[in-house]
């Protein structure tokens, strides 16, 4: 049963990447050509909402659920029911854009479609993740699992409390609603990334001391106490609240990952570069650090901001890809198309590096974020920034497609020797 549950979480993760891959092509195209803004605004904004919610929230939280299923002893019945809820929630979010043309709102963290179906889907999926996270708090689970789960639970509770304290219909309502919980969620997915780095690194024959691991995990978790202070003292829609949560995330997502990255890289053996999960892990470290470096150059509201968070988010995404590759070996599957599988994280990383470089260059020239064509000045940027943004985005999409194909084909193969049948 556990093997089936792990496979189900992998398939849900793959499904959450398919639609974002399609919307990514739409977004890259509309960002890098001259179009009539009013004519294409609805499509662009709707595509951006679906892209972010599926490729960030659904994909990354599913990564947390996969990790818990793989490493912790959580009751099969709980996981099975949570999986069905998560699947229904993800489907509702995906189809909401096609029902009654809902208005897209591009707030941070969880951009929304003003559709009852969207909010039901979001609530159902979040409930599924909440159920598994609560189940992971029992005494016999690992410290990393407890911290990761607790961070997710806190993010949901802060969002619910924000809902109770905000006036419906006020300006920037959804921005305020998801600001606090969204920042805590970033800690949760970053904790997932650290957990994956540690797990894969320890398999390479140079384990990190358990006390050192736990110290890094506590450094990752500590800023949440400041976040709770900020949430209890300041109004959710105040500037003090926004800056407080921002500072909290800078500390939380900055210090611990840098500490662990240095430890992993200094202990790296060249022989560890031969496996697909490890290539994905090292690519994850590179992209996350690149995103952090770009953050130092943020000034104003421009595309340097998405260049930064795309780098950091891609770092988490590559870690989840590494986890899925590792999960396949744990299930007894052999990677289909092994050479292509080895190249996949490199192709994906190259594409994303080109893409965020183009965004950073355009941002330095004043291109506005969350806009397209002339409205964002991207079409008037330098030739090199346009090339990097457009071609890099398409290369990254290709890398994502290769990942989906490799993993899906690996799962579909019946492993007779291991006795695992997935038909």
pLDDT of 26: 63
Containing H/E element for 26?
helix 2-31
Measured CA to CA, the distance from residue 146 to residue 189 in angstroms comes to 13
pLDDT of 379: 44
Measured CA to CA, the distance from residue 341 to residue 319 in angstroms comes to 15
Six-digit token string for 374: 């002339």
Is 243 a domain residue?
no
pLDDT digits (tens, 9 = 90+) for 388-400: 887 888 899 899 9
Torsion from C-alpha of 333, 347, 22, 374, nearest 10 degrees: 160
> What φ, ψ does residue 112 adopt, rounded to 5°?
-130, 160
For 113: left if phi > 0, alpha if psi spans -120 to 50, otherwise beta; the answer is beta
**Is residue 255 a contact partner of residue 219, using CB atoms and an 8 Å limit?**
yes
Is 257 a domain residue?
no
The domain containing residue 417 runs over which residues?
275-423
Count of other CB atoms within 10 angstroms of residue 423: 4
Q: How confident is the model at residue 377 (pLDDT cuts 50, 70, 90)?
A: very low
Secondary structure class of 335 (helix, strand, coil): coil
Q: How confident is the model at residue 404 (pLDDT cuts 50, 70, 90)?
A: very high
Is 241 a domain residue?
no
Side-chain-side CA neighbours of residue 369 (13 Å): 21
What are the residues whose beta carbons fall under 8 Å from the beta carbon of 335, sequence distance 6 or more? Answer: 276, 325, 328, 329, 341, 406, 410
Q: How confident is the model at residue 335 (pLDDT cuts 50, 70, 90)?
A: confident
pLDDT of 334: 85
**Is residue 392 a contact partner of residue 355, using CB atoms and an 8 Å limit?**
yes
Measured CA to CA, the distance from residue 222 to residue 239 in angstroms comes to 23
CA 7 to mean position of chain CA atoms: 19
Q: How confident is the model at residue 402 (pLDDT cuts 50, 70, 90)?
A: very high
Domain ends where: 124, 141, 158? 141
The number of folded domains in the chain is 2
Secondary structure class of 74 (helix, strand, coil): coil
Q: Higher model confidence: residue 241 or residue 205?
A: 241
pLDDT of 336: 85
Six-digit token string for 224: 């949440």
Q: Is the pLDDT of residue 357 over 50?
A: yes
Is 83 a domain residue?
yes
pLDDT of 382: 59
Q: How confident is the model at residue 418 (pLDDT cuts 50, 70, 90)?
A: very low
Q: Is the pLDDT of residue 323 over 90?
A: yes
pLDDT digits (tens, 9 = 90+) for 273-297: 889 999 999 999 999 999 888 877 6
Q: Is the pLDDT of residue 236 over 90?
A: yes
Q: Is the pLDDT of residue 203 over 90?
A: no
Concatenating the DSSP letter of every residue in 360-423 gives HHHHHTTPPTT--GGGGTGGGS-HHHHHHHHHHHHHHHHHHHHHHHHHHHHHHS-BTTTTB---
pLDDT digits (tens, 9 = 90+) for 138-192: 999 999 999 999 999 999 999 999 999 999 888 899 999 999 999 999 999 999 9
Q: How confident is the model at residue 329 (pLDDT cuts 50, 70, 90)?
A: confident
Which of 125, 101, 130 minimizes the C-alpha distance to 113? 101
What is the rounded average pLDDT of the residues 360-376?
A: 60
Mean pLDDT of the chain: 86
**Which parts of 47-106 are beta strand (E)?**
104-105
What is the rounded average pLDDT of the residues 89-115?
A: 91
Measured CA to CA, the distance from residue 132 to residue 109 in angstroms comes to 22
Is 115 a domain residue?
yes
Q: Is the pLDDT of residue 380 over 80?
A: no
pLDDT of 2: 80
What are the residues whose beta carbons fall under 8 Å from the beta carbon of 183, sequence distance 6 or more? Answer: 109, 227, 245, 246, 248, 249
Q: Higher model confidence: residue 325 or residue 379?
A: 325
Same domain, 279 and 137: no
> What φ, ψ does residue 105 adopt, rounded to 5°?
-125, 120
Is 100 a domain residue?
yes
pLDDT of 126: 97
Is 304 a domain residue?
yes
Q: How confident is the model at residue 423 (pLDDT cuts 50, 70, 90)?
A: very low
Domain ends where: 122, 141, 160? 141
What are the residues whose beta carbons fall under 8 Å from the beta carbon of 324, sequence distance 6 or more? Answer: 10, 13, 66, 407
Q: What is the pTM of this model?
A: 0.89
Q: Higher model confidence: residue 366 or residue 78?
A: 78
Is 74 a domain residue?
yes
Measured CA to CA, the distance from residue 27 to residue 50 in angstroms comes to 11
pLDDT of 421: 39
Q: Is the pLDDT of residue 213 over 90?
A: yes
What share of the chain in percent tops pLDDT 70? Answer: 87
Six-digit token string for 317: 């995404």
């Amino acid at each position: 049963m556990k093997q089936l549950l792990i496979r189900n979480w992998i398939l849900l993760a793959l499904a959450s990447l398919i639609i974002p891959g399609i919307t990514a092509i739409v977004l890259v195209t509309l960002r890098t050509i001259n179009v009539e803004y009013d004519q294409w605004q609805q499509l662009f904004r709707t595509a951006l909402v679906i892209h972010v919610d599926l490729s960030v929230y659904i994909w990354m939280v599913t990564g947390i659920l996969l990790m818990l299923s793989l490493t912790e002893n959580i009751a099969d019945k709980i996981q099975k029911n949570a999986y069905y809820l998560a699947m229904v929630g993800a489907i509702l979010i995906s189809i909401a854009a096609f029902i009654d043309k809902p208005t897209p709102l591009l707030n941070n963290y969880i951009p929304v479609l003003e559709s009852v179906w969207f909010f039901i889907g979001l609530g159902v999926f979040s409930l599924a993740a909440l159920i598994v996270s609560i189940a992971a708090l029992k005494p016999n689970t690992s410290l990393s699992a407890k911290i990761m789960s607790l961070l997710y639970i806190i993010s949901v509770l802060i969002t619910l409390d924000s809902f109770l304290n905000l006036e419906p219909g006020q300006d920037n309502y959804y921005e305020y609603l998801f600001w606090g919980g969204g920042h805590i969620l970033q800690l949760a997915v970053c904790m997932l990334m650290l957990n994956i780095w540690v797990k894969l690194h320890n398999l390479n024959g140079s384990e990190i001391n358990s006390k050192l691991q736990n110290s890094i995990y506590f450094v990752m978790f500590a800023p949440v106490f400041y976040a709770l202070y900020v949430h209890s003292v300041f109004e959710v829609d105040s500037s003090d609240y926004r800056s407080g949560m921002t500072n909290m995330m800078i500390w939380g997502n900055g210090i611990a990952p840098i500490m662990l990255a240095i430890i992993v890289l200094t202990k790296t053996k060249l022989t560890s570069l031969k496996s697909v999960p490890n290539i994905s892990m090292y690519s994850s470290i590179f992209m996350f650090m690149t995103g952090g470096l770009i953050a130092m150059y943020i000034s104003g509201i421009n595309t340097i901001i998405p260049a930064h968070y795309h780098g950091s988010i891609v770092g988490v995404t590559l870690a989840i890809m590494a986890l899925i590759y590792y999960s396949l070996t744990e299930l007894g599957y052999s990677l289909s198309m092994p050479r292509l599988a080895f190249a996949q994280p490199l192709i994906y990383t190259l594409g994303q590096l080109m893409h965020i470089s183009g965004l950073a260059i355009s941002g330095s020239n004043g291109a506005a974020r969350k806009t397209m064509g002339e409205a964002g000045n991207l079409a008037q940027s330098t030739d090199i920034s346009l090339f990097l943004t457009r071609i890099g985005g398409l290369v990254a999409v290709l890398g994502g497609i290769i990942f989906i194909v490799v993993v899906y084909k690996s799962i579909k193969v019946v492993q007779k020797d291991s006795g695992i049948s997935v038909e």
